[in-house]
Structure 1
C-alpha cells in the first residue's frame, strides 16, 4: 500500500489535516503546481483566518452537524495552534483575525508542517474506487492505494485556481447525495429597473439586506456589473431567486426632516451620488426638507425597504465559496467519515456547509480537518 491515507486537495482543510496527522502517513494530491493557491488570494491577500464571534448562526448549514467540529476546535484553539507556529494573527474590522502582513505567513506554516507528508502536485485525481477494503485512487499519472481517503477538494469557486467538481463526483460514486451547488459570497447582477445602479459604480454605502428571516448588515458596493460589497456577499448565501429588501437608511430618524432647510442630498445619510440617483428614480427634486410634500415623504421612506429581484449572480469565477455540496446527513459529524463507506472522509468546502464573510469558511476548513484527524489518529 502506497500510504495509509490519501488526502485529495491542497487547500486550507487538506493542509491543516496533513499538518495534524502523524509523520509519513499521508499522500496529499493537488492538481495545481503549488498547494494553497486560494489561501494566498483570500482576504485581499491577507487571509481572514477566523472571527471572535463564532457560532452556528454564521453558517448556512445543518446547525447540529457543524456544532461538534466548531466546539472541538474553536477559534481560540485555532489561534493557540497558530501561536505555537509563531503566527500571531491581528484583529481587524472589530472581530476578524487576519495575517499580519500577508496570507503567505499562514501558507508558510502549512508548507513547513505538511512536509511530514508526501505532497504530489500537478496531479489530477480522475477516479476513486474501493475493493477488498482498499481504496484505489486513479490520477492522470498513476494509481495509488490507501486504506483511508479524505476528500478535501473544495468547491467550484475560482476555477482559474484549479477548482473542480471532483469531490462531488467521488461522493456520488460512493452513493452520496449532493445538495445543489451555487456560487456563494458573490455579487448580484441586476435587472433593467436597477440598471441605474451601474452608473454608481465604485460608490459604497452601509445597508441592511433582508432575505426571509436573515439580515445582512454592512457595506453595499455599487459595481459595473451590479451590486457587491460585504452585505451583498453575505446576502447571496440565502438568495436563490425572487426579491430581496434593502434598507438604504438603517437607523435613520425621519423626525425633523420636514422641518429642515437643508437639501435632501445633504439630509439623507448616503453618498450624494446615491441620494441624487434615487431622487431621480423617485421623481423627487433635490429640495429643502420644508418643501417636501406628504406623498414625497412617503416615497422617500421606501428607501428603508427598497425591494427588487436580482437578475442573478456574478457566477463561480467571482464567488468566494460554493454553496451546497455533499449532504451532511450522510456524514458522521464526530469524525467526518462517510456513513455509507468506511474509511472515506469529507472535510471543508466540499460539504454542504458555507459560512458568512469574516473568516467563517476558513474556521470550518480547520475545524472539520481537526475532527477528521482525531478520528484517523
Structure 2
C-alpha cells in the first residue's frame, strides 16, 4: 500500500451537487428593512468576492455524480511539460502529506509503535529531498549510494528536531542539515590525508577566488593575486592548494592515462651511490686549499689524474723519491688539519 493511501490527506467536506431548491411561489418573502439592506448587500458582495475557483461547487460527473478531483496548491504553468507538471504535483503532494504526518507525529508518544510508523513514513516520503541534495556531489567520485545514505542520516536528524509550530516548511529546514551531514562525511571520511579544518574551510574560499579571478583576468591567477584578494599570506594559499589535492592517494603501481605512459613508480628518482661521498669530497676540497701549490698539484695528479709516482716525477722534473716524500708530508699535514674523527 502506498504512503498516500496509508496516510490520506484530509479533504474538504463534499458539497452537494444538487441545485438549490427555489423558493415556493406561494411563499412571500418578508419585507426587507430599508436600514439593513445596505449591510446585507455588502455582506453578500464580500462573501462572493472571497469565494475562489477552488471553493466553487463542481458540476456533477457524468457517471453518477462522483466527487471532483482534488486540486493541487500549485497549478501547472503554461510552459511546463507533462513531466514537469507531474513532478510539481508530486512535490506538492509530498509537502502536504509531510505537514499532515508532522501534525500526527506531534500528538504521539515517542517510542510507541505508532510514533515509529509515522516517523518511518516521514523518512520515506522525503527521500527525494536527500537524492536532490546528494546530486550536488556527483563530481566527488564517491558512490552515490554512500552519499545518499549519509544524507539520510541528516534527514532523520532534521525530522527529530523539526517543530511544525514555527511556521517553517520542512524542506527549508531539512536541506541545510542534509547538506551539512554530507559535507561532514567528505571532510572526515573521504580524504586519504586528513587536513586541519581551518585549511579545509580556507580551501573553499581559495577555490571560489580562483574561479572569480580566472573570469576577471582571463587566465589562471597567481598565488599573490589570490592572497591579496582573500587578505591571506602566500604561504597560507599554498597550504590550501596542497590541502585541496589531498582527497585521494594514488598507488605508485597504478596505470597512468595515455598509451605507454610510465607509472609513478617508474618515474621516481633513484638513490645516487655517490651521495654518501659528498661530505668527504667537500672536506677534501677544504683541506687541499691549505696545501702549497706544488704539493696540491702532486695530489691531484696522483689521485685524480691516476698517474704513477714515476709519471709525476717526469712531468714535474723531480726525482721519484722526492715525489714520495712530498706525498707523505702532504698526508701528515692533511691529517693534522682534519678535526673530524674517523
Q: Which has the higher contact order (CA 8 A, sep 6+)?
A: 1
Counting helix residues as a fraction of each chain, which structure ranks higher?
2
TM range (shorter): under 0.3
Counting strand residues as a fraction of each chain, which structure ranks higher?
1
Structure showing greater Rg: 2
